[in-house]
Amino acid sequence: MTSTCAELLIDRLSKSGEGVATHGGRAIFVEGALPGERVRAEIREGGRVQRGELLEVLSASPARRASSCALSDRCGGCDWLHLDEAAQREAKQEILLSALEHIGGMQRDRLEILPPLVSSKQMGYRRRATLHFSGGQLCFYGRRSHRSVVVPRCPALVPSLEDLPGALSPMLARIARDVAAVHLVAAGEQRSLAIELKAPLRSAHQEACEGAMRQLRLAGAALIPPSGSPRLVGKPILRESDGKGTPLYLRPDAFAQVNPEVNAMLARAVVDRLGPEDPGRVLELFCGNGNLTFRIALRAQEVVAVESSVAALELARRSAREATATRVRFIQGDASKICQALIAEGERFDALVADPPRTGAPRIAAWASGLTVSRVVYVACDPAALARDCLELSKSGFAAKSLQLVDMFPQTRHVEAVVAFGAHGK
């Protein structure tokens, strides 16, 4: 592969967080470069996407700053530490609106843009982490690669987890060759871990967990073998409150939103987008551990909540047994199959709430139409998937009413959003 050096003017940030310039009629993606900057970069020729390696910033953006983490030039976790927070949010908003315009066919001036939901903590907010072993030490992956970066401590993690990667490494080193990944989770001062194994479960795995639990005062651990059921050691399921009287449960091998403060804001925003009055019957897809479910149920006549993960649904049902609002019915299974079955059975709902994974919910328009809902509230974690699903909803008669940026991940390019839709004429 050949390369050439060139002086570039950076126009914008891509959804992958890189600076974008135009050179020789082609877009050049430059890691670490910011809009408005003039930089010198080594452009690697060939390939569908042309990338440049940043060699020198000739004229810096006023939004550029020194990184607060010594690992940020290698670690893949916080890729925007060199950009101030106000500029981060502005870039994220533009990434969202650009995707909705160019992929979703929307006109931004027809959307109500609500104030962004912003974390008061710009570092030390992450209550979850996934690491892997390399050379007997726990690591994160490097930027846009599978290079290992040793992380003795991580300032992006909540204080109770910050030093845990370095403390855990020697305690789990003797089973490291059997470990595919280590998942950490915290709820306040409580901490637990899950070890994803690439070899059959052995007594040595449990002994290593028990030793770590004793010495580091961990609540428990979940051992996840390549096949078969997980083995829970101690009490790895952690309890927190949703702020409305219902406990929510976290487990290190089940999904949970990473930023507890912004997550609470997100839940309130979803309920607000359903309207000021009783939203009627609500179908919630991808409900996870009930993160949104019980808040919705406090206002709705009934919530039917669907989730494919058995572990997550076990947590949600545990919460339901202690819930203030009990008008919830959980269904375990694939969202598409469940929706098809509900449509075939003649079920009708007033509103649909969806919080899908990064791949989005490609069939959401058919589900919303088949179930005759008048409102859709969509929680997105990928701008392109959101835009594709918005386009399909628009074709099916649903108009996007409002967009709200959710800054769940400060110091990173990752962005979440809440979009509210109404059926045309309603």
Tell me how far apart the alpha carbons of residues 216 and 154 are, in angstroms, rounded to a whole number: 17
Q: Which of 260, 243, 288, 248 is nearest to 379 (CA)?
A: 288
**Up-side HSE of residue 323: CA atoms within 13 Å toward CB?**
24
Out of 75, 209, 339, 381, the active site residue is 381
Residue 210 phi, psi dihedral angles, 5° rounding: -65, -40
**Up-side HSE of residue 318: CA atoms within 13 Å toward CB?**
19
Task: Tabulate helix, strand, coil % of the chain (nearest 5).
Answer: 25, 35, 40
Q: Which of 201, 197, 142, 191 is nearest to 165 (CA)?
A: 191
CB 293 within 8 A of CB 270: no
Any residues with CB less than 8 A from the CB of 157 and at least 6 apart, and which? 124, 126, 127, 129, 164, 184, 186
Please give the angle made by the CA atoms of 158, 164 and 167, to the nearest 5 degrees: 160
Tokens of 109: 């001036």
Q: Which of 251, 247, 248 is nearest to 232 (CA)?
A: 251
Any residues with CB less than 8 A from the CB of 214 and at least 6 apart, and which? none
Helices (H), 73-183: 85-102, 164-172
209 is catalytic: no
Please identify every residue annotated as catalytic. Answer: 381
